[in-house]
């Protein structure tokens, strides 16, 4: 009862703006004022139906989206006070309707087969919207479980696995087939899939950690955050000093994870100021409360040690504006180098796709090394589409889901 009272109080705080600035700030374009209006009227099923028009990941996005930079960051209430807690309302609607299945839409295409490579947020969303349109969908997934970064990247303390698996089950109930243990380039190929399927959607993500090109990067005890979070196989951090390089949510996730594994000190090193960190303010606050140390305006220039990490060398930075630009850029301050004792260095500065795999399968890449697609998510290969982190852009669950949904619509048009 207390939960419902809290939800109603938050919903009634919403002004239901006609201009819908919150919707404009949402990558998926969720009709936020409308679903909140349904909550106010205690029509929770209707609220769920409103969200289902644009997303199938309500319970998840409501919890892990960077709301302050998206929907809540555009909330009118936030101009003079606190924004509406849209994320909490969205996750509530998804949770309270956990027994309600995703509804089928008008079947626009029948007897058309689509293969999806990768069962993360983009692949799952594409699968759901394709199945709702009448397609026969099969997901090829290399891991044992679907979910991608949801199951193999985001720590349990930030996203409960029960919520992930319930969401996946609701997608699969649309009649989607799953084939686990399939890896593109090993036991499946685009050439073979094209013979069996009318269209293919690539959504296997950009899962390889990027590493700074600094001296000592190949020493023992230098790791990529993505790989550590994915497989949850960590070295012994007990009574050790750990440096995390980066300022996004992945950096925060790995820092909080390492702290839970009894590290002596966990230090996030970021070139800019805290207000410029890509990570959510709430996640930064939680990390601080858990004892994570933040070193701002510092850049890694060297990792020092004989065979393994012993120290790191940092250089102080200052923020300057380039002529004609409002954004500030970090510039190293000459002769401001200093060293810190360190036992582990974990890189959390971004991810990249498996370029060799893409090229071997005949896929054209753009200048940044991502799979090149047109405005309809089509690759250079007829009938093959791609989305999510594979094509670059903003690498969040919501943006990946948007790519999956929009690619599905374009695939349907292609099949028609």
pLDDT of residue 374: 95
Mean pLDDT, to the nearest integer, of 366-389? 94
| Mean pLDDT of all residues in 138-142 | 97
Query: In this predicted structure, what is the pLDDT of residue 265?
Result: 97
Q: How many angstroms separate the CA atoms of 96 and 92, rounded? A: 6
pLDDT over 80 at 92, yes or no? yes
Q: What is the mean pLDDT of residues 331-355?
A: 95
pLDDT of 131 reads 95
In this prediction, residues 156-163 reach a mean pLDDT of 94
Q: Determine the Cα–Cα distance for residues 24 and 116; give it in Å rounded to an integer.
A: 29
Q: What is the pLDDT of residue 111?
A: 84
Which pair of tokens denotes residue 261? 């594994």
What tokens were used for 160?
């409960």
Give the residue-averaged pLDDT of 292-303: 98
pLDDT band at 342 (very low <50, low <70, confident <90, very high): very high
For range 81-99, the mean pLDDT: 92
Mean pLDDT confidence for 256-280: 96
The token pair at 126 is 């594409």
Cβ atoms of 271 and 336 closer than 8 Å: no
pTM: 0.92
323: DSSP letter? T
Residue 1, pLDDT above cutoff 60? no
Q: What percent of the chain has pLDDT over 90?
A: 87
Banded model confidence at residue 393, pLDDT cuts 50, 70, 90? confident
pLDDT, residue 114, reads: 98
Whole-number mean pLDDT of the chain?
94
Q: Residue 97: which pLDDT band, with cuts at 50, 70 and 90?
A: confident
For the chain, give the percent of residues with pLDDT over 70: 99
Instruction: Tell me, yes or no, if the two domains 2-96 and 209-347 fold the same way.
Output: no
Cβ–Cβ contacts within 10 Å for residue 381, how many? Answer: 17
Q: Is the pLDDT score of 26 beyond 70?
A: yes
* pLDDT at residue 158, rounded to an integer: 93
Q: What is the mean pLDDT of residues 329-343?
A: 96
pLDDT at 113 over 90: yes
Let me know if 166 is exposed, middle or buried by CB neighbors in 10 A (0-12, 13-18, 19+).
middle
Q: Does domain 209-347 have CATH number 3.40.50.300?
A: no
- Please write the tens of the pLDDT for every residue from 207-255: 889 999 999 999 999 999 999 999 889 999 999 999 999 999 999 999 9
Q: What is the pLDDT of residue 2?
A: 60
CA 37 – CA 231 distance, rounded (Å): 41
Question: Do 292 and 205 meet the contact criterion of CB atoms below 8 Å apart?
Answer: no
Task: Name the CATH topology of 2-96.
Answer: Fumarate Reductase Iron-sulfur Protein; Chain B, domain 2 (1.10.1060)
221-243 in b/e form (b: 16+ CB < 10 A) is: bbbbbbebbbeeebeebeebbbb
What local confidence, expressed as pLDDT, does residue 399 receive? 93
Architecture of domain 113-206+353-415: 3-Layer(bba) Sandwich (3.50)
Q: How confident is the model at residue 285 (pLDDT cuts 50, 70, 90)?
A: very high
Cβ 149 vs Cβ 121: under 8 Å: yes
DSSP 241-284: EEEEE--SHHHHHHHHHHHHTTBSEEEEEESS-GGG-SS-HHHH
Mean pLDDT computed over 309-325: 93
pLDDT at position 223 is 97
Averaged pLDDT for residues 134-143? 96
Would you state the structure tokens that stand for residue 113, as one six-digit string?
């087969």
The ranges assigned to domains in the chain are 2-96, 113-206+353-415, 209-347
């Amino acid at each position: 009862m207390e939960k419902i009272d809290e939800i109603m109080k938050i919903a009634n705080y919403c002004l239901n703006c006609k201009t819908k600035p919150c919707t404009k700030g949402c990558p998926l374009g969720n009709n936020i004022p409308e679903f909140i209006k349904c909550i106010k009227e205690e029509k929770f099923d209707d609220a769920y139906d409103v969200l289902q028009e644009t997303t199938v990941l309500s319970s998840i996005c409501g919890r892990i989206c960077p709301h302050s930079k998206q929907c809540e960051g555009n909330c009118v209430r936030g101009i003079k006070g606190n924004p509406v807690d849209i994320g909490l309302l969205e996750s509530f609607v998804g949770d309270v309707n956990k027994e309600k299945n995703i509804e089928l839409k008008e079947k626009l295409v029948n007897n058309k087969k689509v293969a999806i490579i990768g069962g993360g947020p983009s692949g799952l969303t594409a699968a759901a919207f394709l199945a709702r349109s009448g397609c026969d969908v099969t997901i090829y997934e290399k891991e044992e479980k679907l979910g991608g970064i949801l199951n193999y990247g985001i720590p349990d303390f930030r996203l409960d696995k029960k919520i992930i698996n319930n969401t996946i089950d609701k997608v699969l109930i649309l009649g989607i087939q799953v084939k686990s243990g399939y890896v593109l380039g090993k036991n499946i190929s685009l050439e073979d899939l094209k013979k069996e399927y009318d269209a293919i959607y690539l959504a296997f993500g950009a899962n390889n950690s990027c590493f700074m090109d600094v001296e000592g990067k190949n020493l023992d005890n230098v790791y990529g955050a993505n790989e550590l979070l994915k497989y949850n196989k960590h070295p012994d951090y007990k009574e050790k000093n750990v440096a995390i390089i980066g300022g996004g949510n992945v950096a925060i996730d790995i820092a909080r994870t390492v702290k839970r594994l009894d590290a002596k000190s966990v230090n996030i090193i970021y070139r800019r100021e805290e207000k410029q960190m890509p990570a959510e303010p709430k996640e930064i606050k939680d990390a601080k409360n858990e004892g994570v140390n933040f070193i701002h305006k510092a850049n890694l220039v060297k990792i020092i040690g004989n065979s393994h990490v012993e120290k790191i060398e940092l250089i102080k930075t200052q923020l300057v504006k380039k002529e004609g630009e409002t954004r500030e850029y970090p510039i190293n301050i000459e002769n401001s180098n200093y060293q810190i004792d360190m036992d582990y260095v974990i890189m959390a500065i971004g991810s990249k796709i498996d370029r060799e795999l893409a090229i071997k399968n005949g896929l054209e890449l753009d200048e940044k090394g991502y799979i090149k697609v047109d405005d309809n998510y089509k690759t250079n290969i007829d009938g093959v589409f791609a989305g999510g982190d594979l094509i670059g852009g903003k690498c969040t669950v919501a943006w990946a889901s948007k790519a999956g949904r929009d690619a599905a619509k374009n695939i349907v048009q292609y099949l028609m």
